[in-house]
Structures are given as C-alpha cells and as structure tokens.
Structure 1
Amino acid sequence: MRGITLMTGIRACVLAVVATLVIVGVQPARADHDAEEAYFEVTDITTHTFVLKLTDPLQIAHARALLDGTTTERPHVFGRIVKRTASYNPRWSYHYDPTTIGFFDYAIEVCDATIPYVEDHLDEAGGPFLPGLLWCPWTSRLARELPAP
C-alpha cells in the first residue's frame, strides 16, 4: 500500500511541475524534424558548463535573443533529461532531450538542481529527485552559442 501511495505522490508531483511551468510561461519545444540544430553552452551558479542542442526554430530564436540582449524574459532552461551521454555534451552522463527544451522565468523547487548535483545523483533522477526526469535549474543561463560538432 505504501508503494502505491508513493507512486501516486510522484505522479502528483510531476503533474504539479508541468502545471506550474505552464502557468509561469514555459514555452515547450515543438518536435520539428526538419528544423536546424543549434548548440548552446549553459552555466549555473557552480560555474560548470553543460551543452544543449536545440532543434525547435522558436527555441533557437529565443536562445539567440537572450544572448544578444534582445530579451531578458524566460532566461532559464527547462526540459526532460536522458540518462546517457550525448556526443555534443561528453562531460556529463546525461543530456536534455532536445524536443523537450524550453525556457522559463520561475519554477517550483522539485525540478531545481545544479549541473554537478544532477550528475552526482543521476541514479535517483526520475523518482522523488527530478520527478519525470524534468530538470529546471533555477540559476541556469545561456553562456554562448557553439558551432555544431
């Protein structure tokens, strides 16, 4: 019975995260297989860096607008992580699923973690830590656009 209650709680947390992010204006990425790809370096309060790949033209445009100062809205990165290394982000054992990446202003604490904390606790991700593998580091910010690998 306890396991059922825990799973119900985890599902409720995931739904709360998604609902909250929608309310605060997260723009989820669209799946567009013909879109260009763009790569960006992200940093956080720890000063570690993380590379993400964007494939949605709207998200690419938003990222570039953040970098050139055209906008300051939705400066933080959000998405679902995949627990394996990506060729463009070899330092870390996880990466964002490019089809889930968006940007946000504010989010709830359950999806917040620093880049190295996610690495150190990756085996716990998807349960009570980062439910649904949703990661929204509050101190994340784009540092620069990178050339395609």
Structure 2
Amino acid sequence: MRRISTRIGMLAAAALLAVTAAGPARGEQSRDTTPRTGTDSAAYFVMTDVTRAEFVIKLTDPRKIQHARELLSGATRSEPHVIGRIEKRPAPYNGRWSFHLRPETIDFFDFAIEVCDATTPYVEDHLDEAGGPFLPGLIWCPWSSTLVREVPQP
C-alpha cells in the first residue's frame, strides 16, 4: 500500500509540474514593451513562509517577473505562492541555504497538492530525503510562501 501511495504522490507531483510549467492562462497580457538587455533578464525576489525564513528566488521569464512585481505592488492577488523544482546545491544569490529553485521551473499558484508542501527550514533539514517520498520529483510548493521584496542582482 505504501508503494502505491508513493507512486500516486510522484505522479501527482509530475502532473502538477507539467501544468505549472506550461503556465496558467491569463486574462490580460503584459503591455510592457520595454526592450530587455542581458543585464536585466533576471530578477531576484525574497520569499518567506510561515516560519518567516527568507529564501531568494531567481526569475528569468519576463512574464513571471512581471507577475512577481504585480504581487509586490498589490496590483494582483492571483497566484501568490511559489512552486518550482529543487536543485540540491547552493546558489550564489541564496547562500544561507544548501539548495535553490531552478529558475526555469519556478511558477506561481493558488492551490497545490499536499505532497509538495514544506517549510524552507524543513526542506533544508531533510534535503537528503527530497526527491523520494518527500517532495517527489524535487517539486517544492510551500503553501505559505509569500513574496516580500525584490532584491538587486548579486
């Protein structure tokens, strides 16, 4: 029975990632026509969870950067939480933690399945278990995640 539950959890996480990677349909498209250069193609945001631990994410998709900025400004309340695939190594912009979210996998959500929910400190403490029954597929979706500010590029 445990193997079946684990497989169902892994399939659910994979399906969730496929749906979020495609990105949700938005009612409005971004009207930002500002040309982007190599120096402003990434943006960095601090998120927290219920533990108030700060975790930095790097966004490279202009649509997702715009959504993050709209969340911070209060222009939207839609999809306020962060989801992505864990990379089990530190990133220079997120030195406090021994893992980060791969920028190309990060998206935003309103609701997600329980199998990918965990606080930042819990993920850090159980990182060696991530990718198995804990956070199958290395998909992490902290339900209480909230963006708190944009930070300059390191």
> Is the TM value for this pair above 0.5?
yes
Partner of 2:9: 13
**Cα distance in 2 for residues equivalent to 1:119 and 1:126:** 13
User: How far is 1:80 from its partner?
Assistant: 0.1
User: How far is 1:19 from its partner?
Assistant: 3.1
Q: Which runs of 5+ in 2 are unaligned?
A: 24-37
Any residues of structure 2 matched to 1:75-86 within 5 Å, and which?
A: 75-86=80-91
Partner of 1:116: 121
Partner of 1:39: 44
Aligned amino acid, residue 114 of structure 1: T
- Kept in 2, the 8 Å contact 1:40–1:53? The answer is yes
Residue from 57, 60, 63 that aligns with 1:52: 57
- Kept in 2, the 8 Å contact 1:83–1:122? The answer is yes
Aligned amino acid, residue 126 of structure 2: H
- Structure 2 CA distance for partners of 1:28 and 1:117, relative to 1, 3 Å: farther
Deviations 1:40-90 (A, max 9, x none): 000000010000000001110000000000100000000000000000000
Partner of 1:69: 74
RMSD: 2.2
User: How far is 1:16 from its partner?
Assistant: 1.1
TM-score, normalised relative to structure 2:
0.82
Deviations 1:69-122 (A, max 9, x none): 010000000000000000000000000000000000001110000000000000
Aligned amino acid, residue 98 of structure 2: S
Residue from 110, 132, 151 that aligns with 1:146: 151
Say whether residues 1:91 and 2:96 are aligned partners.
Answer: yes
Q: Which runs of 5+ in 1 are unaligned?
A: none
Task: Kindly tell me the number of residue pairs found equivalent between the two proteins.
Answer: 139
**Cα distance in 2 for residues equivalent to 1:21 and 1:92:** 23
Give identity over the alignment, percent.
Answer: 60
- Kept in 1, the 8 Å contact 2:21–2:105? The answer is no
Aligned amino acid, residue 16 of structure 1: A
- Structure 2 CA distance for partners of 1:84 and 1:115, relative to 1, 3 Å: same
